[in-house]
Structure 1
Amino acid sequence: MSALVKPVEGYLIESVETIIFDVKGLVHPPDKVIAFPRFIPSPQGPRFRRKTPYRKIYSLNERFEFLAKNCPEYIIYDPIFDTKLCEVPVERIKRVYNPIEGLRKLKKKSTLKKIEKEALECLKTLKMESNVPWSSLGISGSILAGTYNESSDIDPIVFGSENCLKVHSTLRRLLEEGDTPFKPYSIEDLRKLFNFRSKDTQMSFKDFIVTESRKVFQGKFMNRDYFIRFVKKPSEIVEKYGDTQYRNVGYARVEAVVTDDSEAIFTPCAYKIEDPKVLEGPKLQPILEIVSFRGRFCEQARKNEQILAQGKIEHVKNLRTKEEYYRLIIGNTPKDYMILKS
C-alpha cells in the first residue's frame, strides 16, 4: 500500500490473502489499518469476483471467528483503544479500494449492470439536487468490491462535513416529497431490517421502529435498498492515533438527555448528553457522550430527547490537553443499544 494512501471509514482494503475488509473509523495506527473482514473467499460462496467465489459475513462475532481461524495475527490488543481489534498491517494490504475512485470508474464504464446503473443514478440525483462536487461522493460495499449480486444494496458515501449536511438535507426533502425515486422504508421493510439486525443488536420491534422509521440515510431508491454513510474528510479530523488514551472501565445502562446531535449523521457518530443517570454498572462521572462506530446507530436520537442506552464505559484522557471524562460506546456487542425513553 502506498504511504500516501490513508484509508478511512467507507474504504475497503484487500489483504494478501484476498480477504476484503471494510475500514472502520478515522483514527488508525501509523503502520496498521483498523478493518473487519466483509467478503471472504469461499468455495460455496454465492458471489463471484473475477471467477473467485466469495461470501459476505456480517456480525462482529462471525468476523472475529473467521480471523481467529484463518488469520489470527490480525487480531490484536490495541493499547490506545484498550480493546481487541482487527488491524491489518500496511505491508499485508494488497489493494486499497477508494470509494471516490470507484465512482469515477463507474461513471466511465461503457456497459453497466442493472445495479450499477441504479447506483450511478442515485449518486447523480444526490449530486444535482445537493449541488455538491463529484469529488465528495463515492460508492462502497459490494459494488466497490465487485462482489455484488442482483439483490445487493447501494452503498453511497459522502465525504466532508459541509457536503454531508447538504446531501442529508436534500435526502430528507426528497423522501418527504414522495414523488422521487427515494422512498422511506415501509413497515414491512422495517420488519425485515429488524429481523436481520436483531442477530447483532437486540431491542424490541417497538423501540426499533420508533428510531429507524425516521432515519433518512437508509431506505429505497428505485425499489432497491440504499445505505448512505456520511464521513468527515481526514483533514477535518484533529485527533491522531495516540493523542487520546481510552480505557475500558466497565459496562453500564444509563438514562440521559441528548444536548447536541450535530455529530449524529456521521460515521462514527456521537451524541453529547447531560444529566446522565447510571441505572446499572459503575457510577462514574462525568459521562459526556455516547459514541458508536457502527452506521446503524447514526440518527438514533435528536437534541432534547431522553434516551436509554447500554454499552461499554470508557475513560477518555486527552494526552495533549489533559482533559478527562467518560463516554458510553455502543455497537460492540448484541446487548448494546440506544432507544428513546417513552
Structure 2
Amino acid sequence: MINKRAREGFFVETKEKLIFDVKGNVHPPNRIISYLRYFPKKTGDRKRNKENYEKVYSLDERTAIISRNYPQYQFYDANFGLTLQGVSIVNLYKIHDPVKFRLNLSEKNTISSLKKNALDLTNILIDELGINENKIGITGSPMVDLAKRGSDIDLVIYGSNNVKKTREGLKNLFEEDNEIKRYNKKGLRTLYQFKSNDMNISWEDFIQIEPRKIFEGTFRNIDFYIRGVKDWNEIEHFYGDFRIKKFYNATIEGTIENSDESLYTPCIYKIKNSRILQSNIDPINIDEVFSYRGRFCELLRAGEEFKAHGKIEKVILKSGESYNRLIIGGNKYDFLKLKKGE
C-alpha cells in the first residue's frame, strides 16, 4: 500500500510513467498538488529502463503538455481559487521520498558518480554540521534515475532547526572546504543564462541579489542547490483551513519587514509600506510576498526597499480573518528585486 503523504522535495509518479514534482506541503485529500517534470518521449535525452524521457522546465510548457495530452492531471481547486496540476490518488503509482532515497543509496556498493557526489555532500552536512540524517534527502533527477551528463545535485532539508543550522554552517564550509564553493561571477553568469528564459529580471538586478544565496554553489565542480522545508509538525495551516480569492496581476513596491521565512520553500517575505503601481487598481494593503519557487528564496533582507510583480490574492482563514499577499512565480513575467536596482 502506498503512503499517500507527500511534501515539497518529493516526486510522484503516475501509472502512465509521468513524473511530477510536489509543490508545497498543503494538499487536498484526494490529490497531491504537483507539476509535470519528466515524461516519456521517444526523442527525449534522458533514459530510464531503456525508455527515453524529456525534462520540462518552464511552467508554460508544463501547462501546455498537461492540457494537451493529460488533462486528467489538471483540476480547479476552490480553496486555492485557481486551476492546478496534481496527481489523484487513483492514478498514483509511486511516491519518491528524497530522505528514503538517500538512506537506501548509502547502503549500496555501486552507484553513479553523481549519486556518490550527492551522497558525499549530504554526509559532510551530517558529519560537520550535525544535520539529522533522517531530515536530509537527495531529490531531483538522480532520485528517479533520470540524471544525465551535466545534471546537478539537488538536496532537501526538513525542519527549521536543520535548515538554519545548514545555512550558518555552509558559510564556514565555503571558507574552509576546498570542495564546496560559492558561485563566482562566471558561475553566476552561467546560472543567469540558464534561468533567463523563465525569469523576468535583468543581469544587473540579478547580480545584486543572487550572490546573497547560501543554499547554492558547487561541490567538486558540480552545481548544487539546497531546498529548506518546514517539517510536518511546523506546518501552520492545512487544507481547508483557508481559501484564496484571486484578484489581479500587479506590480508593487514596498519595504521588507521580515525575511526570516525566505529560507524555506514555500518562501515568505513580510512587507510594509506597500504600494500598487498601476493607477487603475484600487489601493489595498499587501502584507507579504509569497512564492512556491525556490529561485525567490534568500534574496532580500529586512529594511530593504523592493519592487515585485505577481498576482494579488486575499487569503481568508477559517476564523474569518484575512490578509493580502502578492504571489510570485506563477508565470515568467513575475519578478522580485531591489528597488534601487532599477
TM-score by length of 1: 0.96
- Is 1:62 matched up with 2:72? no
Give the deviation of 1:284 after TM superposition.
3.8
Letter in 1 for 2:32: V
Say which is worse superposed, 123-132 or 136-145, in terms of deviation.
Answer: 123-132
The gaps in structure 1 that reach 5 residues or longer are none
Which structure 2 residues correspond to residues 176-215 of structure 1 after superposition, within 5 A? 177=175, 179-215=177-213
- Once residues 187 and 163 of structure 1 are traced to their aligned partners in structure 2, the CA distance between those partners, rounded to angstroms, is 29
Task: Determine if contact 1:15/1:95 at 8 Å carries over to the other structure.
Answer: yes
- Once residues 282 and 327 of structure 2 are traced to their aligned partners in structure 1, the CA distance between those partners, rounded to angstroms, is 16
Where does residue 141 of structure 1 map in the other structure?
140
- Once residues 236 and 258 of structure 2 are traced to their aligned partners in structure 1, the CA distance between those partners, rounded to angstroms, is 19
SS of 1:64's partner is helix
- Once residues 135 and 282 of structure 2 are traced to their aligned partners in structure 1, the CA distance between those partners, rounded to angstroms, is 43
Task: Determine if contact 1:115/1:150 at 8 Å carries over to the other structure.
Answer: no
Letter in 1 for 2:320: K
Give the deviation of 1:48 after TM superposition.
1.1
Aligned-residue RMSD, C-alpha: 1.2
Give the deviation of 1:304 after TM superposition.
1.1
Where does residue 76 of structure 2 map in the other structure?
77
Where does residue 105 of structure 2 map in the other structure?
106
- Once residues 41 and 246 of structure 2 are traced to their aligned partners in structure 1, the CA distance between those partners, rounded to angstroms, is 35
Where does residue 311 of structure 2 map in the other structure?
312
- Is 1:91 matched up with 2:90? yes
Give the deviation of 1:305 after TM superposition.
1.1
Where does residue 29 of structure 1 map in the other structure?
28
Where does residue 50 of structure 1 map in the other structure?
49
- Once residues 138 and 89 of structure 1 are traced to their aligned partners in structure 2, the CA distance between those partners, rounded to angstroms, is 24
- Once residues 298 and 283 of structure 1 are traced to their aligned partners in structure 2, the CA distance between those partners, rounded to angstroms, is 29
Change (3 A) 1:264 1:71: same
- Is 1:336 matched up with 2:334? yes
- Once residues 323 and 140 of structure 1 are traced to their aligned partners in structure 2, the CA distance between those partners, rounded to angstroms, is 37
Give the deviation of 1:30 after TM superposition.
0.5
SS of 1:103's partner is helix
- Once residues 283 and 17 of structure 2 are traced to their aligned partners in structure 1, the CA distance between those partners, rounded to angstroms, is 44
Say which is worse superposed, 196-205 or 57-66, in terms of deviation.
Answer: 196-205
Task: Determine if contact 1:284/1:326 at 8 Å carries over to the other structure.
Answer: no
Deviations, residues 31-58 of structure 1 (Å, cap 9, x unaligned): 0000011111111111111111111110
- Once residues 25 and 54 of structure 2 are traced to their aligned partners in structure 1, the CA distance between those partners, rounded to angstroms, is 26
Letter in 2 for 1:91: V
Task: Determine if contact 2:139/2:155 at 8 Å carries over to the other structure.
Answer: yes
Task: Determine if contact 1:250/1:314 at 8 Å carries over to the other structure.
Answer: yes
Aligned positions, number = 339
Where does residue 173 of structure 2 map in the other structure?
174
Deviations, residues 95-144 of structure 1 (Å, cap 9, x unaligned): 00000100011101101211111101110111112112100110100011
- Once residues 130 and 228 of structure 2 are traced to their aligned partners in structure 1, the CA distance between those partners, rounded to angstroms, is 16
Task: Determine if contact 2:313/2:326 at 8 Å carries over to the other structure.
Answer: yes
The gaps in structure 2 that reach 5 residues or longer are none
Structure 1 residue aligned with 2:242, among 241, 244, 251?
A: 244
- Once residues 130 and 34 of structure 2 are traced to their aligned partners in structure 1, the CA distance between those partners, rounded to angstroms, is 32
Say which is worse superposed, 280-289 or 31-40, in terms of deviation.
Answer: 280-289
- Once residues 220 and 173 of structure 1 are traced to their aligned partners in structure 2, the CA distance between those partners, rounded to angstroms, is 15
- Once residues 298 and 86 of structure 1 are traced to their aligned partners in structure 2, the CA distance between those partners, rounded to angstroms, is 23
Deviations, residues 297-326 of structure 1 (Å, cap 9, x unaligned): 10121111111111100011102x221111
Say which is worse superposed, 24-33 or 183-192, in terms of deviation.
Answer: 183-192
Letter in 2 for 1:188: K
Task: Determine if contact 2:212/2:299 at 8 Å carries over to the other structure.
Answer: no
- Once residues 337 and 7 of structure 2 are traced to their aligned partners in structure 1, the CA distance between those partners, rounded to angstroms, is 28
- Once residues 108 and 329 of structure 2 are traced to their aligned partners in structure 1, the CA distance between those partners, rounded to angstroms, is 37
- Once residues 331 and 284 of structure 1 are traced to their aligned partners in structure 2, the CA distance between those partners, rounded to angstroms, is 22
Task: Determine if contact 1:285/1:325 at 8 Å carries over to the other structure.
Answer: no
- Once residues 311 and 171 of structure 2 are traced to their aligned partners in structure 1, the CA distance between those partners, rounded to angstroms, is 32
Where does residue 12 of structure 1 map in the other structure?
11
Task: Determine if contact 2:275/2:285 at 8 Å carries over to the other structure.
Answer: no
Task: Determine if contact 2:4/2:89 at 8 Å carries over to the other structure.
Answer: no
Which structure 2 residues correspond to residues 124-135 of structure 1 after superposition, within 5 A? 124-135=123-134
Task: Determine if contact 1:254/1:308 at 8 Å carries over to the other structure.
Answer: yes
Where does residue 220 of structure 1 map in the other structure?
218
TM-score by length of 2: 0.96
- Once residues 153 and 192 of structure 1 are traced to their aligned partners in structure 2, the CA distance between those partners, rounded to angstroms, is 13
Give the deviation of 1:70 after TM superposition.
1.5
